[in-house]
A and B are shown apart, each in its own frame.
Chain A
Amino acid sequence: MSARKLSLALAALLTSVAAPALAQDIAITNATVVIGDGSAPIAGGTVVVRSGKVVAAGAGVAVPAGIRTIDAGGKWVTPGLVVAITDLGLVDVEAVDESNDGNSGKSPFSAALDIAPAINPVAQPIAISRAAGVTRAAVAPLDTGAIFGGQGAIIDLGADNQAVTQPRAFQYVDLGETGARRAGGSRVAVHAVLRNALIEARELARRGGGTGADPRLADTAPERPGDALLNRFDAAALIPVVAGRQPLYVRAERAADIRIALALKTDFPALKLVIVGATEGWMAARDLAASGVPVLATPLNDLPASFEQLGATQSNVGRMAAAGVKVALGAFFDQPRHAPQYAGNLVGLTKVPGATGLSWDKAFAAISSVPAEIIGQGDKFGSLKPGRAGDVVIWDGDPLEAGSGVTQVFIDGVEQPLSNRQTRLRDRYQTPTEGALPKAYDW
């Protein structure tokens, strides 16, 4: 092993057990700088990060004296990618049940579930996504026995022991076919279950229940009507939702389901909705735009994979954006590191007659600042605007292009190790045959 590899491996080991490294002040010069807010890349730009935060990025930025300087040699420098609705940190191996905390199907709780304590900051999927430039994620519980998945968290992907930056950041509910199955077999059942839940939460709040920092654990809750369907914790967990203090992420694919979700605000005006999935969003784009409700869209669905996705088209995101909907790429339910490929495809669509895609600038924003804004973190990260976290990625090529890769990643100004099991296996098997000793000694 080369000295460089060894030191990187040691760095990985140390950061995984020691306190987080201190943020370093850095200036990255001679870069093609992507701010991430939808503006055009800036050639010959500079990014300055101090005390873990971006202080300046763009052309004509002065490099402070005495600061570590990285000459990017013209390479692309972007904010870290933000992927909303993942299972990062909840799962080691999806099909190995014991390692998969994304499924709580047999739990007696639903809305009260809080995924934050289950996040494993050193899970391999986090390390692998980090090495691909993903620095922040919204992690959601998806599988419960009920329409509510529970409360998701915002995490960073830094190589340290503190991943969760905001627990209980949102509540997740499924109003489509999956929710229908869980509610009792149909959409008819979903809507009764959902309305009842929100009303029970509102009623519990009116009776003075569920107050306190973490209302789920309040033991001073008053008596509830005898016909309450939700258990106490689940009802309490929905109080901040119905009061508009915690966003409600609604999984809906069919245009009609999206419209019904938007209509919830008639009876529950404080709801802060985010639509997740939205395969047929283009068919409800005017309603979405008028409501101001943003969308975390599955990017490239173009097959009628189910009867709630009959109108699927890859132009969905572009058409929604053109109609004025705030839309980010997310909810693709495979590896977060595919985000740039999805974004690149939306750029590719702009060359296809009759299709609607996104410009490169908007496509990049759809995997950085826009998802950050939709998950309520736009003032904290997702772009290289001054004051945002020092989440910076240096690429060896156009970040949205298939063959490009990441050369350096900073999170909160801390340079991150990019090694993981995959890179270690790659290095071990550069030559597949055994050498003087068995492979097991090559590490």
Chain B
Amino acid sequence: MKKLHRPLLVAAACALVMGGAGPGLAKDAKDKDKDKKESSAAVKAAREFNKDPYPSSYRVYPGAATALVGATVFDGKGGRIERGTVLFRDGKVVALGGADLPVPEGYQRVDATGKFVTPGIIDAHSHLGDYPSPGVEAHSDGNEATAPTTPEVWAEHSVWPQDPGFTRAMANGGVTALHVLPGSANLMGGRGVTLKNVPARTVQGMKFPAAPYTLKMACGENPKRVYGSKGRAPSTRMGNFAYNRATWLKAQDYRRKRDEGKLESRDLAMETLAGVLEGEILIQNHCYRADEMALVLDMAKEFGYKVATFHHAVEAYKIGDLLKASDTCSAVWADWWGFKMEAYDAIPENAGLLYKAGACVVIHSDDENGIQRLNQEAAKAQGDARRAGVDISDAEVVRWLTLNPAKAVGIDQLTGSLDAGKAADVVLWNGNPLSNYSRPEKVWVDGALLFDSGNPKHRPVTDFELGQPGEGDVK
């Protein structure tokens, strides 16, 4: 097939002008003073803008001081305690210990003998709310596929809090926090948002307080297919890189001008990219192939940013050494395979071989059904690793679902393990979570009991499901 040589850089430059500061119009001399004043105000606005204009309005729900006693406890950071005791009150973990840890007065005691406790499960890659159920065209809000780089869009502005998927993720998956990303049509798809998995009327009511913003980027087939098929750049992997690099140059320039007080207006796209260069916004990079991940790591060095996490990363097992060296997490499926060319080398031992290489492993879903079974996906990966000669303890595998995803999205100081002082995001499982047979029995978010399998009134029903067949069913 004949390939057209596309005028890549010209196209890139044109697109970037759109997002950049527009040229000023010619002015009369008498307007100069006024201009100067306005200009300095604009310069100030460009430098001192509100970085949190849609702040979290999440309020912790009331919870009782609770002692979970007698369970096998996975602490989320690789530890395991038999017949453990977990204490939490006022939304925070108070203490974690063995059977000898005394339960102070005033705690409601939950007999968890024979059951299991983990920190709340965290999905580092979800599109719940942005691609909600029902999956009708009118709900397709995850890809602003109208320009190859859209760092100006924010996933939170698409989140529909009434997506029934949130409730299933909690009831079946024990998910207490999730990172919602734009899709991968674009090289730079926009900002991601981290949510508490709490039913709310607004997305602000779900936003995880103090979680950093993230930027979704995408390698490989998707951006080049989406834009190449429209007869525009990028249409190749090399086009992807040229477009990204041109955009980062623009961002560096923007940041320098801003710091020098030379900007006359704000630019939403560049503010996001400057935030990345300053280390405030974490890069979440969709990337399948090992060779492309290696190139992305060099691109990050070239422009002075860090890739927090590669998402999907089905070939991460080929470069575990590089990923360890760069301290980049890989958020992977257990065994998705072969659905597209860049997934052809996926293997079920990906997580296990990454672990063996000492790299950060995260099990993610990218799926409204998979998010309900992240625990099982991790267990499958553990079994495949074992058969490949890599024995990994249950407690380490639970870390792939808790502290590691928390690290991947920058909330590991707040949640992800049962350390005293962290959020009391806790799941009581009716059996070992690394099993197809186990389900959450109770789920607490910040110490508030928000799901209880034994109490129908503690089973959330979204607005969409009211009055529909099966309303309030166990699902």
Contacts and interface: CB of A to CB of B under 8 A. Distances in A.
Contacts of B25: none
Contacts of B469: 255, 280, 283, 310-311
A53 to B, nearest CB: 30
Interface string B372-401: 110010011011101111000000000000
A231 B396 CA distance: 61
B276 interface: no
B29 interface: no
Contacts of B337: 128, 335, 422
B383 A404 contact: yes
A95 B320 CA distance: 27
B50 interface: no
Interface stretch (A7-15, A207-215, A259-267, A343-351): A343-351
Nearest to B388: A426
Nearest to A424: B347
A405 B338 CA distance: 20
B474 A313 contact: yes
A303 B164 contact: yes
Contacts of B369: 300, 303
B368 interface: yes
Main secondary structure of the interface of B (DSSP, over half): loop
Contacts of A92: 338
A315 B136 CA distance: 24
Nearest to B377: A402
B431 interface: yes
Contacts of A315: 473-474
A42 B165 CA distance: 40
Contacts, number: 156
Nearest to A283: B469
A166 B436 CA distance: 34
B318 A305 contact: no
Given A315-B473, A352-B474, A426-B349, A405 B435 contact: no
A219 interface: no
Interface stretch (A21-29, A134-142, A428-436): A428-436
Contacts of B339: 93-95
Contacts of B347: 422, 425-426
A124 B278 CA distance: 46
Contact of A311 (B172, B357, B387, B470): B470
A432 B475 contact: no
Contacts of B134: 304-307, 309-310
B353 A345 contact: no
A425 B368 contact: no
B380 A93 contact: no
B474 A355 contact: yes
B341 A402 contact: no
Contacts of B388: 426, 430
A403 B377 CA distance: 9
Nearest to B370: A334
Interface in A140-191: none
A124 B338 CA distance: 9
A312 B369 CA distance: 12
B133 interface: yes
B345 interface: yes
Contacts of A71: none
Contacts of B431: 351
B265 interface: no
A361 interface: no
A312 B470 contact: yes
A339 B343 CA distance: 21
Given A94-B339, A426-B347, A401 B437 contact: yes
A348 B434 CA distance: 12
B267 to A, nearest CB: 35
Contacts of B106: none
B334 to A, nearest CB: 9
Nearest to B433: A402
Which 5 pairs of residues, A with B, have the shortest CB-CB distance? A344-B436, A403-B383, A402-B379, A311-B469, A95-B340
Interface of B: 133-136, 164-165, 168, 172, 221, 317-321, 335, 337-341, 343-349, 353, 357, 368-369, 372-373, 376, 379-380, 382-384, 386-389, 430-431, 434-439, 453-454, 456, 464-465, 468-470, 473-475
26 contacts: A93-B344, A95-B340, A255-B469, A302-B168, A302-B475, A305-B134, A305-B135, A310-B134, A311-B469, A313-B470, A313-B475, A314-B172, A340-B436, A344-B436, A347-B437, A348-B439, A349-B439, A353-B454, A400-B436, A401-B436, A401-B437, A402-B383, A403-B380, A422-B346, A422-B348, A426-B353
